[in-house]
């Protein structure tokens, strides 16, 4: 079987990264979490005290930054300039600021260029918001995962509880809706379903059911 490029897009907590990792494992493909690149950029800018609307300063910073991934048993470790930041980039302050940085045109063009280079080898599952539309518009398989806002807030609530964080469900719902809005309404490559993407509603599907469904689509390609 040819090594395909699989693009998985969709809104926050639709299950993209969980499912993408498992699909990659099943086919012995590489997994690339593009959200981690936007999150790492945001974290470094915050640590340096850069105004997150200041595009030129963030671009300067990014031109001197190395974001790298290392596969691990639990998925993937993320490094900024050689220092591990896997957990830090998931903190709530980063989550709630990342859409501001991801809306900056020049930031996107730097990261999209890097993502295109990573995807070039094939045999890859890449997840994000604009993979099927911008990063790999000719991907052999394009999936668009969705789930209701309530279900997605519940998922984030459970993830948070495991980490000892107890943000109220209603607040998580509002945060998700706001991030969905910002990601879908930005000028550059907003979150949209590619015309040729297959939409899967995961609201009442288990992780395994979603992985099986995507695997079927890959095998039938
Ligand atoms: O896992 P979660 O859905 O919370 O988000 P993520 O995939 O880690 O992405 C974090 C943020 O990065 C998104 O809300 C987008 O603002 C941005 N992003 C993007 O603009 N384009 C991508 N290809 C991936 C992420
Ligand atoms: O990457 P994205 O933000 O789209 O979602 P995620 O971080 O992969 O998934 C958020 C949470 O939903 C994780 O705890 C998953 O275990 C859970 N989940 C899922 O991913 N898929 C389902 N069908 C059901 C639950």
Residue in 219, 176, 198, 213 with CA at minimum distance from that of residue 7: 198
Question: Which residue owns the Cα nearest ligand 1 atom 23?
Answer: 128
Residue in 22, 5, 7, 180 with CA at minimum distance from that of residue 95: 180
- d(CA 37, CA 62) in angstroms, rounded, equals 11
Q: Is 99 in the pocket of ligand 1 (CB under 6 A)?
A: yes
How many angstroms is it from 151 CA to the middle of ligand 2? 10
Q: Is 210 in the pocket of ligand 2 (CB under 6 A)?
A: yes
Q: What is the mean pLDDT of residues 11-21?
A: 95
Question: Which residue owns the Cα nearest ligand 1 atom 6?
Answer: 35
Q: Is 128 in the pocket of ligand 1 (CB under 6 A)?
A: yes
Tokens representing 47 are 């640590």
pLDDT digits (tens, 9 = 90+) for 47-90: 999 999 999 999 999 999 999 999 887 778 999 999 999 999 99
Taking a C-beta distance cutoff of 8 angstroms, is the pair 148, 22 a contact?
Answer: no
Q: Is 11 annotated as a binding residue?
A: yes
- d(CA 40, CA 19) in angstroms, rounded, equals 21
Q: What is the mean pLDDT of residues 26-43?
A: 96
- pLDDT at residue 1 tops 70: no
Q: What is the mean pLDDT of residues 171-184?
A: 94
Taking a C-beta distance cutoff of 8 angstroms, is the pair 119, 136 a contact?
Answer: yes
Predicted ipTM > 0.85: yes
Q: Is 35 annotated as a binding residue?
A: no
- pLDDT at residue 2 tops 90: no
pLDDT of residue 23: 97
Answer whether residue 213 is part of any domain.
Answer: no
How many residues can be counted in the chain?
221
Answer whether residue 51 is part of any domain.
Answer: yes
Answer whether residue 220 is part of any domain.
Answer: no
**Closest approach atom of ligand 1 to CA 33:** 7
pLDDT of residue 199: 98
Q: Is 38 in the pocket of ligand 1 (CB under 6 A)?
A: yes
pLDDT digits (tens, 9 = 90+) for 108-132: 999 999 999 999 988 999 999 999 9
Q: Is 19 in the pocket of ligand 1 (CB under 6 A)?
A: no
Q: CATH number, domain at 33?
A: 3.40.50.300
Q: Is 7 annotated as a binding residue?
A: no
Mean pLDDT across the chain: 95
Q: Is 108 in the pocket of ligand 1 (CB under 6 A)?
A: no
Task: List helix spans (H) across 64-200.
Answer: 92-95, 98-102, 105-119, 149-162, 169-185
- pLDDT at residue 148 tops 80: yes
Answer whether residue 196 is part of any domain.
Answer: yes
Residue-range definition of the domain harbouring residue 159: 5-203
Higher-confidence residue: 189 or 52? 52
Higher-confidence residue: 124 or 163? 124
Say how many domains are in the chain.
Answer: 1
- pLDDT at residue 39 tops 70: yes
Ligand nearest to the CA of 186: 1
> What does the angle CA 195 – CA 201 – CA 204 come to, to the nearest 5 degrees?
175
pLDDT of residue 76: 86
pLDDT of residue 122: 87
**Closest approach atom of ligand 1 to CA 17:** 1
**Closest approach atom of ligand 1 to CA 183:** 16
Answer whether residue 43 is part of any domain.
Answer: yes
How many angstroms is it from 159 CA to the middle of ligand 2? 9
- pLDDT at residue 185 tops 80: yes
């Amino acid at each position: 079987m040819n090594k395909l490029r699989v693009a998985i897009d969709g809104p926050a907590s639709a299950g993209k990264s969980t499912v993408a990792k498992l699909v990659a494992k099943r086919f012995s493909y590489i997994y690339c979490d593009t959200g981690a690149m936007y999150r790492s950029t945001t974290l470094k800018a915050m640590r340096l005290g850069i105004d997150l609307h200041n595009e030129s300063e963030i671009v300067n910073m990014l031109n001197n930054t190395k974001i790298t991934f290392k596969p691990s048993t639990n998925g993937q470790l993320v490094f900024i300039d050689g220092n591990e930041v896997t957990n830090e980039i998931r903190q709530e302050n980063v989550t709630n600021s990342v859409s501001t940085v991801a809306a900056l045109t020049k930031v996107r063009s730097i990261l999209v260029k890097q993502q295109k280079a990573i995807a070039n080898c094939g045999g890859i599952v890449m997840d994000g918001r604009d993979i099927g539309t911008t990063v790999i518009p000719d991907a052999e398989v394009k999936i668009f995962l969705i789930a209701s806002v309530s279900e997605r807030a519940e998922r984030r609530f459970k993830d948070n509880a495991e980490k000892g964080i107890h943000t109220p469900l209603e607040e998580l719902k509002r945060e998700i809706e706001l991030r969905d809005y910002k990601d879908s309404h930005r000028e550059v490559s907003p979150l949209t379903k590619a015309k040729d993407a297959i939409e899967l509603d995961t609201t009442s599907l288990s992780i395994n059911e979603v992985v099986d469904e995507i695997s079927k689509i890959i095998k039938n390609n």
